[in-house]
């Protein structure tokens, strides 16, 4: 059973930075991990994805140049470094992974079957 635990959320002013971590345990395969976010009243949306073997990354346009996804396979941790934060970045941030053998590392929440409980990020203007 896969277990994902996010940490690092908090409250910052616009222009500030936060670094989120997602610690994964309970699985032995390497695949794709992703960060999603969901603001109140909005759908869950992808933020960034990373293939844990090879390290190929993708970030969505709304955060490109501001957010960076990375991983430490020795520790089974995936990071999301967020800079130049905006009030629109306020949301619950979730990490996710999949048990697919050949994952697409897509941007749709249905591409992932394991989720953490989330960490709140609040950006004030």
pLDDT tens digit sequence for 86-125:
999 999 999 999 988 888 899 999 999 999 999 999 999 9
Q: What is the mean pLDDT of the chain?
A: 93
Do you know the residue count of the chain?
125
Between residues 26 and 111, the one the model is more confident about: 111
How does residue 71 score in pLDDT terms, banded at 50, 70 and 90? very high
Asked if the model's pLDDT at residue 58 lies above 80, the reply is: yes
* Predicted pLDDT of residue 28: 53
Q: How far is CA 76 from CA 16, 22, 23, 24, in A?
A: 27, 8, 6, 5
Asked if the model's pLDDT at residue 3 lies above 80, the reply is: yes
Of residues 98, 84, 111, 97, the one with CA closest to residue 13: 84
What's the rounded Cα separation, in Å, for the pair 54 and 20?
A: 21
Of 35-44, 52-61, 109-118, the poorest mean pLDDT is in 52-61
Buried b or exposed e, range 88-105, using 16+ CB within 10 angstroms: ebbbbbbbbbbeeeebeb
Buried b or exposed e, range 57-77, using 16+ CB within 10 angstroms: ebbeeebeeebbbebeeeebb
> Quick check: 49 and 67 in contact, CB under 8 A?
no
Asked if the model's pLDDT at residue 29 lies above 60, the reply is: no
What's the rounded Cα separation, in Å, for the pair 38 and 28?
A: 28
Beta carbons within 10 angstroms of residue 46's beta carbon:
22
Asked if the model's pLDDT at residue 16 lies above 90, the reply is: yes
């Amino acid at each position: 059973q896969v277990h994902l635990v996010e940490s690092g959320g908090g409250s910052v002013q616009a222009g500030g930075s936060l670094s989120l971590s997602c610690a994964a345990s309970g699985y032995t395969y390497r695949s794709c991990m992703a960060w999603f976010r969901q603001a109140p009243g909005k759908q869950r949306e992808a933020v960034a994805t990373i293939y844990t073997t090879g390290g190929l990354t993708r970030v969505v346009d709304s955060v490109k140049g501001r957010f960076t996804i990375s991983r430490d396979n020795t520790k089974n941790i995936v990071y999301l470094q967020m800079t130049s934060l905006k009030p629109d970045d306020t949301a619950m941030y979730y990490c996710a992974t999949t048990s697919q053998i050949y994952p697409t590392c897509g941007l749709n929440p249905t591409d992932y079957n394991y989720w953490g409980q989330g960490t709140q990020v609040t950006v004030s203007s």
